[in-house]
Amino acid sequence: MIEERFDAIVVGAGMAGNAAALTMAKKGMKVLQLERGEYAGSKNVQGAILYADMLEKLIPEFREDAPLERHLVEQRFWIMDDRSHVGLHYRSEDFNEERANRYTIIRAQFDRWFSSKVREAGATVLCETTVTDLAQDAYGRVIGVRTDRQDGEIRADIVVLAEGVNGLLGTRAHLRERPKPNKVALAVKEMHFLPRETIEARFNLNGDEGVVIEAAGTISGGMTGMGFIYANKECISVGIGCLVADFHRTGKTPYELLDRFKRHPSVAPLIEGSEVKEYAAHLIPEGGYKAIPQLYGDGWVVVGDAAQLNNAMHREGSNLAMTSGRIAAEAIFQVKSRRLAMTKENLALYKRMLDRSFVLKDMKKYKDMPRLMHTNSQNFFLTYPQLISKAMQTYLRVDGTPKTEKQKSTLKSFVNARSWIGLFGDAFRFARAWR
Amino acid sequence: MKIDRSVRVEDKLFCNRYLVDAGRPHIKVRAHTRPSSQLLALLKACPARCYDLNDKGQVEVTVDGCMECGTCRVIGESTGDVEWSYPRGGYGVLFKFG
Ligand SMILES: Cc1cc2nc3c(=O)[nH]c(=O)nc-3n(C[C@H](O)[C@H](O)[C@H](O)COP(=O)(O)OP(=O)(O)OC[C@H]3O[C@@H](n4cnc5c(N)ncnc54)[C@H](O)[C@@H]3O)c2cc1C
Ligand code: SF4
């Protein structure tokens, strides 16, 4: 048993945990951080896009030594059917700026670097340590943690739960529900290695410029899900994720889905001849605003994916994790510096601060989206992509058919598939959820 | 139940790094004579294909290739079919890239 007493224990050394531990350690608090992996990052999976602004708030000079892959100059969005894709590209020279806005990263390397900053700030970081339970007193107040290392407890005034999407400890302590199949997506991902020049040629890049592709459509076979292709320096991340409930319902296998995505005629040429060096799987919280649990209580706060803070519409998670970790730490520090106890009442400050930040504002904006996408997955991920692709093809093929007839037949195919009421209903529901 | 064998998951897992905690599996399947629909779903939903049928028609789990994603927990824990924990600190999958 560690006899020392800590101001705070942080469970997990992912994006949220590192942000929280760093912020508290920098403010001079005595912080213990526990991570079950061999090193920070060895258990973590991401696409991965890093949003610079949220990291800059923690480590302003991060660009000097953080392991960054490529800064993004281009974003592509693909609506796919089985043989084609309709794409929206945005590329801008403005993104070739000194302090770039978004980068691709490799999580195992990035987290390790992030963790070194946490140590430098003075926190005690213990890896290879799985926290098995929260220690609670007779009144249910959280007073510390138990680990698989030594018997007995480690005590602290507050425990920051940054344990990621599975959130085992929070569930075991009855602080929140376990993730539900219709509120989490399972993503599988491979790392495809190719020579730098090949990647740059295939993606139309100069030097450290980067591109990401997000893809939706028949690739998910009618399930609620998305695929992604992100260019790193010497490898390409290729992955796809769908709701666990949909995998359960359809009996589709995640690896077959990934392989079908890789074989798609729009994807295959990008990764042709590559060497796959890793296959990874991870859950993503997709329940949105309505799935956010109680965020604080006596002796604890929850941050990041464990708190379901993930914006599935914009594929943002790590930045919400970093921001919630930082804000929780700032709230804790405020409570501490006022010499108040870490009670539920006092820690409500964390929620009030989070409410004012982009984190909960963004989450709230899309509160109806997860349900809409889930209950209409066949339309949004199968019917519409097929219709759109057919419309494009009809429009582009020059075959002597008058344009008016082409337009009519396209419109007819939409109405046949979804009916006028269906079309208006979908558009209305989508617009309302987007608003 | 037909399981898709066209993609060789073993080959995929082969490139991953693992430190297996021999004799201490972190996931357990409740003893059963006939598998529940949840257990049968895991034969397909697990991305590492850790779940398989034995010759008695029961679902078994072998955690050696497990990537600790939690999918089987989300599907099978609430019904009591699956007992799920993380491996001991340091053990299990070790992502080089993640
Ligand atoms: C395939 C995929 C692609 C994604 N792409 C993007 C993207 O491009 N951009 C983006 O912003 N977000 C993306 N996300 C989301 C992003 O990865 C998460 O939102 C983010 O990692 C959440 O950070 P976190 O710290 O809350 O959790 P995690 O990063 O998961 O960290 C949790 C940590 O806690 C540790 N831990 C858990 N339980 C215990 C325990 N009991 N004891 C000790 N340690 C424990 C874990 O080992 C881990 O290190 C993606 C996610 C996935 C799966
Ligand atoms: S945690 Fe994921 S990889 Fe491991 S057995 Fe369960 S479903 Fe399979």
Give the ligand with the smallest distance to the CA of B65: 2
CB of A189 closer than 6 angstroms to any ligand 1 atom: yes
Give Cα A319 to chain centroid, integer Å.
8
Task: Check A253 against B41: CB less than 8 A apart.
Answer: no
The pair of structure tokens assigned to A331 is: 């709230």
Shortest Cα distance from A261 to chain B (angstroms)?
Answer: 13
With 0-12 CB in 10 A as exposed, 13-18 as middle and 19+ as buried, what is B19? middle
Tens-of-pLDDT digits for all 435 residues of chain A? 556 789 999 999 999 999 999 999 999 999 999 999 999 999 999 999 999 999 999 999 999 999 999 999 999 999 999 999 988 999 999 999 999 999 999 999 999 999 999 999 999 999 999 999 999 999 999 999 999 987 779 999 999 999 999 999 999 999 999 999 999 999 999 999 999 999 999 999 999 999 999 999 999 988 989 999 999 999 999 999 999 999 999 999 999 999 999 999 999 999 999 999 999 999 999 999 999 999 999 999 999 999 999 998 888 999 999 999 999 999 999 999 999 999 999 999 999 999 999 999 999 998 888 887 777 788 888 888 888 888 888 888 888 888 888 888 888 888 888 888 777 778 777 777 777
Mean pLDDT of B30-56: 96
**What atom of ligand 1 comes closest to residue A51's alpha carbon?**
11
> In this complex, is the C-beta atom of B5 within 8 Å of any C-beta atom belonging to chain A?
no
Ligand 1 center from residue A216 Cα (angstroms): 23
How far is A45 from B98, CA to CA, in rounded Å? 4
d(CA A175, ligand 1 centre) in Å? 20
Q: How far apart are CA A118 and CA A40, in angstroms?
A: 11
- Determine how many CB atoms are found less than 10 A away from the CB of residue A121: 17
In contact, A323 and A357? CB cutoff 8 Å: yes
Atom number, ligand 2, closest to the C-alpha of residue B27: 5
**B85 to each of A297, A306, B58, how far by Cα in Å?**
24, 16, 21
Cβ contacts of B70 on chain A, cutoff 8 Å: 165-166, 179, 184, 283
Task: Name which of B67, B71, B94 is nearest A244 (Cβ-Cβ).
Answer: B71
The mean predicted confidence, pLDDT, of chain B is 94
What is the separation of C-alpha A101 from the centre of its chain, rounded to a whole number of angstroms? 17
Q: Give the pLDDT score at B20.
A: 94
CA distance A306 to A319: 14
Q: Is A227 in the pocket of ligand 1 (CB under 6 A)?
A: no
Amino acid occupying residue A228: F
Where does A199-353 show beta strands of DSSP type E? Answer: 209-217, 225-231, 235-243, 275-285, 296-297, 300-302
Instruction: Please give the residue of chain A at the shortest CA–CA distance from B12.
Output: A279
User: In this complex, do A279 and B12 lie within 8 Å of one another by their Cβ atoms?
Assistant: yes
How far is the C-alpha of A382 from the C-alpha of A237, rounded, in Å?
A: 24
- Phi and psi at A203, nearest 5°, equal -100, 5
Q: Which chain A residue shows the shortest CA-CA distance from B17?
A: A278
Please tell me whether the interface predicted TM-score (ipTM) of this complex is above 0.90: yes
Q: Whose CA is nearest to atom 8 of ligand 2?
A: B46
Res B4: pLDDT: 57
Q: Alpha helices of A38-82 — where are they, by DSSP H?
A: 52-56
Give B46-91 pLDDT, tens digit per residue.
Answer: 999 999 999 999 999 999 999 999 999 999 999 999 999 999 999 9
Neighbour-count burial of A65, counting CB atoms closer than 10 A to its CB (0-12 exposed, 13-18 middle, 19+ buried): exposed
